[in-house]
Amino acid sequence: MLNVPVHLLDAHARALEVFDRAVHETGPADWRRATPCAGWSVRDLVNHLVAEQLWAPLLLDGATLDDVGDRFDGDVLGDDPVAAWETAAAAAREAWVAPGVLQRTVHVSFGLIPAEEYGWQMVLDLAVHGWDLAMALGKPNPVPSDLAAHLLEVLRPMVDDWQGIGLFDPPVAVGRGASAATRLVALLGRRPR
């Protein structure tokens, strides 16, 4: 288990807020906009995060990837993407705050990992895709500097391991004076604006 000064569940709540705010700023004409994620529209990006949230309660309850199967493949947004996000996010958050959840293990694509590690991966995904969505909408960087700094500290070793396996583009160079939020998205192959 990771030994960190910021509690995972607090970071999770803050990252959920980052993405939630961006979803609620998405207007009817925005769903087809391109995002910084190559080949993904705003709708594709939100669909990805909704599917991730739908997986969380099942995985945290001990389900394997085979147990879940393909039930969250394809479009999980339906006719009301915002409502789909709200429902999935609420269910994921409820699963994360269940007693004892951080002491569990979780089945992921590369094996069995501590729930806490899975949680930090979800926090990272929510924060960085919150940035992606905000950029697609022409909004400022929504990731709080302290959250970004903590994600850099906790996840830097994992991100280094993930480079080269297709999860992220190669890191983008930024200046020494760049904010933590800028350094975080650049580390994950985003071009800060």
Going from N- to C-terminal start, the domains of the chain cover 8-140
Polymer length in residues for the chain: 193
C-beta separation of 17 from 52 below 8 A:
no
Quote the CATH superfamily of domain 8-140. Answer: dinb family like domain (1.20.120.450)
> Which of 42, 11, 67, 38 shows the shortest CA–CA distance to 137?
42
Per-residue model confidence (pLDDT) at position 155? 75
Report the alpha-carbon distance of residue 120 to residue 131 in Å, rounded: 17
Nearest Cα residue to 49 out of 103, 124, 117: 124
Distance CA 115, CA 40 (A): 28
Question: Does residue 73 contact residue 65 with C-beta atoms inside 8 Å?
Answer: no
pLDDT in tens, the chain (193 residues): 444 345 899 999 999 999 999 999 999 999 999 999 889 999 999 999 999 999 999 999 999 999 999 999 999 999 999 999 999 999 999 999 999 999 999 999 888 999 998 999 899 999 999 999 999 999 998 999 999 998 988 877 776 666 555 556 677 788 888 888 888 888 777 888 7
49 close to 40: Cβ distance less than 8 angstroms: no
